[in-house]
Amino acid sequence: MSALTDDTLPVTPRAMRDEMIVFAVMAVLLAVVPFTGIYPFFVMQALCFALLACAFNLLIGYGGLLSFGHAMFLGTAGYVSAHALKVWGLTPELGIVVGTAAAALLGLVTGYISIKRQGIYFSMITLALSQLLYFLYLQAPFTHGEDGIQGIPQGHLFGIFDLSKPLVLYYVVLVGFLGGFLLIYRTINSPFGEVLKSIRENEPRAISLGYKTDQYKMLAYVLSGTLAGFAGSLKVFVAQNASLTDVHWSMSGEIVLMTLVGGLGTIFGPVVGAFVIIAMQQYLAGFGQWVTVIQGVIFVACVLLFRRGLVGELAHLLRRSL
């Protein structure tokens, strides 16, 4: 059985330096976006999905676990944050904390149920669990069913930053994204991340070395779900609504697609993938259902022709880890 990424390079000081340079370039590019005339809402939305895809990638790319239900974290955190802001009248920072905490709790519960099963079964279980939540949210009164929670007040973050101003909101989302990204980067390169990779490569061997692999996988799953939830909470301020589409299985599929296009198990791949897919949806919005067809074609093409994804292929060409 070949592993998901066939050319994982050992972490060397040079690789770390390369990655930090790319990170700095990315941060600077994103920071100047508001002055380029690019529609900021598009970039904010893409940033939320990029963080979501990075969180998903932590699980599949480094833990080898394909969750086909990651939309449940996005949707749950979104609903809880939206409800907290609109009905309880909490401040933005507390709204984000409550939403993210809800996702963490969901991660604990669903992880406890699903983590003991491996491979394909894990994917099917997470998909079924997210469908279960979808129906619960469809029927629960606080989500307002098909309408969703709309008209969410943006408020002042820490009482200072007025989030109703697009420029302020943009930098808040950017800081949130970069923070989440660095946390994931740190996790991947920590001893914990190394154990996770060893589980992905050969779980029986990791067990024989004395690692309690279920605990490692559980921690990775909860961390991934929590960060996905954080992305969902941020997205509430951008979209100003929380709706059923964020919990639907097709959203889980899009998260998988973004990561696959960018490159499973690459550091920057999910970010590139998220921007590509969101841009594609933006430009092809007029084509109706053909967007779904095109997404399907991309799935097929990625799996059959370039499994490394955009960034993975580039890294392979340059013989660098990206």
Partner 1 sequence: MQALYAQLLVGLINGSFYALLSLGLAVIFGMLNIINFAHGALYMMGAFVAYFLLNLGGINYWWALIIAPVVVGIFGMILERTMLQWLTGLDHLYGLLLTFGIALIVQGVFQNYFGSSGLPYSIPDQLKGGVNLGFMFLPVYRGWVVIFSLVVCLATWFLIEKTQLGAYLRAATENPTLVRAFGINVPRMITLTYGLGVGLAALAGVLSAPINQVRPLMGADLIIVVFAVVVIGGMGSIMGSIITGFALGVIEGLTKYFYPEASNTVVFVLMVVVLLVKPTGLTGRAA
Residues interacting with partner 1, by CB under 8 A?
Answer: 1-4, 60, 64, 66, 68, 113-114, 116-121, 123-125, 127-129, 131-132, 135-136, 138-139, 249, 253, 256, 260, 288-293, 295-300, 302-304, 307
C-alpha span between 251 and 307 (Å, rounded):
21
* Spatial contact of 206 and 199, defined as CB atoms under 8 Å apart: yes
Query: Does residue 273 contact residue 54 with C-beta atoms inside 8 Å?
Result: no
- Rank residues 93 and 214 by Cβ distance to partner 1 and give the closer one: 214
Closest of 206, 255, 317 to residue 60, by C-alpha: 255
**Cα gap 99→179, rounded to integer Å:** 17
State residue 156 phi and psi, 5-degree precision: -110, 120
From the CB of 292, what's the least distance to partner 1, in Å? 4
Residue 127 Cβ, how far from partner 1 at the closest point, in Å? 6
User: How near is the Cβ of 129 to partner 1 at its closest, in Å?
Assistant: 7
DSSP letter string, 199-258: HHH-HHHHHHTT--HHHHHHHHHHHHHHHHHHHHHHHHHHHSEE-GGGTSHHHHHHHHHH
Q: Which is nearer to partner 1, 160 or 304 (CB)?
A: 304
Counting DSSP H helices and E strands in the chain, the numbers are: 13, 4
State the minimum distance, in angstroms, from the CB of residue 68 to partner 1: 8
Phi, psi values for residue 161, rounded to 5°: -85, 120
Which CB, 59 or 183, lies closer to partner 1?
59
- Shortest Cβ distance from residue 297 to partner 1 (Å)? 6
Residue 49 CA to residue 95 CA, distance in Å, equals 19
Pick between residue 92 and residue 263 the one whose CB is nearest to partner 1.
Answer: 263
Contact 234, 51 (CB under 8 A): yes
Q: Between residues 115 and 174, which has the closer beta carbon with respect to partner 1?
A: 115
Q: Measured between alpha carbons, how far is 64 from 279 in angstroms, rounded to an integer?
A: 28
Q: Quote the least distance from Cβ 49 to partner 1, whole Å.
A: 18
Nearer to partner 1, 232 or 309 (CB): 309
Q: Are 243 and 257 in contact (CB under 8 A)?
A: no
Q: What is the largest CA-CA distance in the chain?
A: 56
| Closest distance of CB 19 from partner 1, Å | 25
Q: How far is the CB of 114 from partner 1 (least distance, A)?
A: 7
- By beta-carbon proximity to partner 1, the closer residue of 72 and 278 is 72
Q: 12 or 118, CB closer to partner 1?
A: 118
